[in-house]
Amino acid sequence: MNTQRHSAVFAGVFGFSSFLLPSLIVAHEPEVMSKSVVTGRSDSLVGLADAASEGYIGLDHLEFRPLLRAGEVLETVPGVIVTQHSGSGKANQYFSRGFNLDHGTDFATSVDGVPVNLPTHAHGQGYTDLNFLIPELIQTVHYRKGPYYADVGDFGSAGAADIGYVDRLDRGLFQMTGGSSGYGRILAAGSPTVGSGSLLYAIEASHDDGPWEHRQDYQKINGLLRYTRQDGDSTFHLTAQAYGGRWNSTDQIPLRSVGSLAGGRFGAVDPTDGGDSHRASLSADWQRETDAGHTEVQVYGVYYDLDLFSNFTYFLDDPVHGDQFEQHDRRGFGGLKAHHTWHYDLLELDSESTIGLQTRGDLIDNGINHTEGRQFLSVTRADTVGQVSVSPYAEQKTKWNDWLRSTLGVRGDIYHFDVASNLAQNSGTADRALFSPKAGLVFGPWAHTELYLSGGLGFHSNDGRGSTTHVDPKDPTSPLDPVSPLVRTYGAEVGIRTVALPHLQSTLSIWWLDLDSELVFSGDAGDTEISRPSRRFGVEFANYYTPTPWLTLDADLSWSHARFREYDSVGPFIPGSIETVLAAGISVHDPDPNRGFFASLRLRYFGPRALVEDDSARSRETVLLNAEAGYRFNPTWTLAVGVFNLLNRRDSDIDYLYASRLPGEASGGVNDIHFHPVEPLSVRATVTARF
């Protein structure tokens, strides 16, 4: 095992840097690189960003955007699609850069620095449940694509986004929303002064039945407390959050069931599916910003649980009791994130050096049970998993002259898995370490335009249970090979960013990403499905235009190509991989922030994609047009109306192709497209009071 060797390498690198740098630093006051406050997408990142596919979404872009689901905040990231194939309380389904990301694999998401992705999860690796988000509190979404950043590790190969909350509100907020299909929501928030700091509070309660024939009855309660104190050049945050939700699910249904067993398009084959979930977190972070450097230390602890009942194949495996299964996941996890950045002149070159450390530990109790009508029948798999990671990193930025900047980074990741399974053959430990270099060059600016070249190695972790599995949990007589717990990824990107035209910011990036394996842990089977190495490449073109203070237009176009790299007679296509995405919008608002009319219209096109390896079956496109209009009567009162699926399209949120068996069908099942429909035209009205 190479863990000791990698640790020694990192210790040597850090030790050598700490010895060498002081002797080369020039004593005069350095020019601080990239010191700027970015508040929104309209801000120019020329001279600041390290890659074309890095960006910020701020209040100016979020304020007038209609959201059907909280997780759709991530659709502000160019090329990202957020859908659902089950009940609203379940984590969303995500797509980006040629990936069907399932519930979060290969896209690293955090909220105020606290990671959301859950490894070794009962339902899906990297499970990312954003139902605890309160969109009205979001200040920025900082997104970065590709494995080019030393501080981005697991799940970040396709991209990463950190969602940042505000420290305080200018005024208190009380909001009531009512709408179609039994939708209701109440939000109260404020930030009074407490001692020498401010206390941000928010509480949200909502209910939604949805358009489903079997009432969803999604009930959610959500709360946040955030204490902020500033003392000179230092800032301290202490944040507590709590969320609870329960729901009934209408999962995807086969086309052949519509008009018969499932009823209409919004019917269910198994109406007993559903679940409940809870999340509670506490985090503290301290930051200090001076001309000489920046320091940040954060610690966090999270409790999470989920009980999820699903039935995707109906009576394929058990013609008597059906195929419903329960996935339960209960865990506590915590970690430390710390880094320090020095600003200095190195041989008269403006420079930054950063060293950092990220650690995380998860104690997980999860399993899979066979159920009928949410009643226990038998255990498929039960495990207790301890998972620990230690990840040091370092990064060096240098401004060589007026038109060339460089970034060199290196990251180490050491993982340990300890699995205690209900089957002794599937218990054991596994260790793996990876060393990931990163690099980037920025040329310019010339005429308010920069060119970027980025590359790096990354990885994603596999479900820890797969690293110690030796027999099939459903059939212990069938042997299985353990899989590598960490899968290497390789990526590169060339791009351009320009603000040469007044009020227009445009970025174009051409990217490539290879994965050593598309390993996926199958939650319904309890084992790991091994697939081939893959290659993806594509183009992203993002535009944001503000010709006047009262008008904003944006248009993002993404195209991806995804294929397996090794030949197999079944075909080279990666099922479900996203290909074409178009997101565009227009918003208008009165220049007076305290009164006047505002409106927005947004179009989202989610293109067809292969559903099987030989591309013999494809999904149809999904087109959604959403709108919002409102009026601010005065600084206190605002009325807004949102309309979703304005064209009332009968499209799918998601499509799959697999075999299932309905009552009365022959054994072996029927290969069919299974779909989850988009919600029909719906309306929500919101009254907001600010005080």
For residue 29, the 8-state DSSP code is P
Residue 346: per-residue pLDDT: 86
Residue 524: per-residue pLDDT: 54
Q: How far apart are CA 97 and CA 512, in angstroms?
A: 9
Residue 28: per-residue pLDDT: 37
Give the CA distances from residue 681 to residues 210, 532, 581, in Å, rounded to whole numbers and listed in that order.
11, 41, 22
**Contact status, residue 181 vs residue 215, Cβ threshold 8 Å:** no
Is the pLDDT at 41 greater than 90, yes or no?
Answer: no
**Contact status, residue 57 vs residue 141, Cβ threshold 8 Å:** yes
Residue 70: per-residue pLDDT: 95
Query: How many other CB atoms sit within 10 Å of the CB of residue 515?
Result: 28
Q: How far apart are CA 157 and CA 629, in angstroms?
A: 37
Residue 518: per-residue pLDDT: 82
Is the pLDDT at 237 greater than 70, yes or no?
Answer: yes
Residues 6+ apart with CB under 8 A from 49: 55, 442, 450, 452, 497
Residue 21: per-residue pLDDT: 37
**Contact status, residue 78 vs residue 57, Cβ threshold 8 Å:** no
Least confident of 137-141, 270-274, 357-361, 472-476: 472-476
Torsion of CA 679, 683, 689, 690, to 10 degrees: 50
Query: How many other CB atoms sit within 10 Å of the CB of residue 528?
Result: 20
Residue 220 is encoded by which pair of tokens? 């959610």
Task: Tell whether the torsion through CA atoms of 481, 486, 492 and 497 is positive or negative.
Answer: positive
**36 band by pLDDT with thresholds 50, 70 and 90:** very low
Which of 376, 373, 371, 275 has its CA nearest to residue 329? 275
Give the CA distances from residue 95 to residues 69, 119, 131, 344, 653, in Å, rounded to whole numbers and listed in that order.
16, 18, 17, 41, 11
Is the pLDDT at 583 greater than 60, yes or no?
Answer: yes
Q: Enumerate long-range contacts of 569-572, CB under 8 Å, 24 or more apart.
A: 570/613, 570/614, 571/612, 571/613, 571/614, 571/615, 572/613
Residues 6+ apart with CB under 8 A from 690: 171, 172, 173, 635, 636, 638
Q: Is residue 384 classed as helix, strand or coil in its secondary structure?
A: strand
Q: How far apart are CA 430 and CA 486, in angstroms?
A: 10
Query: How many other CB atoms sit within 10 Å of the CB of residue 320?
Result: 6
Q: How far apart are CA 65 and CA 585, in angstroms?
A: 9
- What does the mean pLDDT of the chain come to? 92
pLDDT over 90 for what percent of the chain? 86
Q: How far apart are CA 79 and CA 623, in angstroms?
A: 15
Which of 67, 74, 65 has its CA nearest to residue 93? 74
Residue 62: per-residue pLDDT: 87
Least confident of 151-155, 156-160, 528-532: 528-532
The mean per-residue pLDDT over the stretch 278-282 comes to 98
Q: For the segment 57-100, what is each residue's pLDDT rounded down to a tens digit?
A: 988 788 889 999 999 999 999 999 999 999 999 999 999 999 99
Which of 129, 142, 559, 41 has its CA nearest to residue 308? 129
Is the pLDDT at 690 greater than 60, yes or no?
Answer: yes
Which of 513, 504, 496, 497 has its CA nearest to residue 548? 504
**C-alpha distance across the termini of the chain, in Å:** 61
Give the CA distances from residue 586 to residues 116, 254, 553, in Å, rounded to whole numbers and listed in that order.
31, 36, 5
Residue 535 is encoded by which pair of tokens? 């290659």
Q: How far apart are CA 458 and CA 456, in angstroms?
A: 7
Residues 6+ apart with CB under 8 A from 27: none
Q: How far apart are CA 197 and CA 262, in angstroms?
A: 55
Residue 640 is encoded by which pair of tokens? 């807004």
Is the pLDDT at 9 greater than 80, yes or no?
Answer: no
**272 band by pLDDT with thresholds 50, 70 and 90:** very high
Q: For the segment 346-367, what is each residue's pLDDT rounded down to a tens digit?
A: 888 999 999 999 999 999 999 9
Is the pLDDT at 18 greater than 90, yes or no?
Answer: no
Fold assignment, 3-199+341-690: Maltoporin; Chain A (2.40.170)
**Contact status, residue 460 vs residue 420, Cβ threshold 8 Å:** no
Residue 30: per-residue pLDDT: 44
Give the CA distances from residue 87 to residues 67, 266, 277, 560, 676, in Å, rounded to whole numbers and listed in that order.
17, 12, 12, 29, 10
The mean per-residue pLDDT over the stretch 523-539 comes to 77
Residues 6+ apart with CB under 8 A from 259: none
The mean per-residue pLDDT over the stretch 309-334 comes to 96
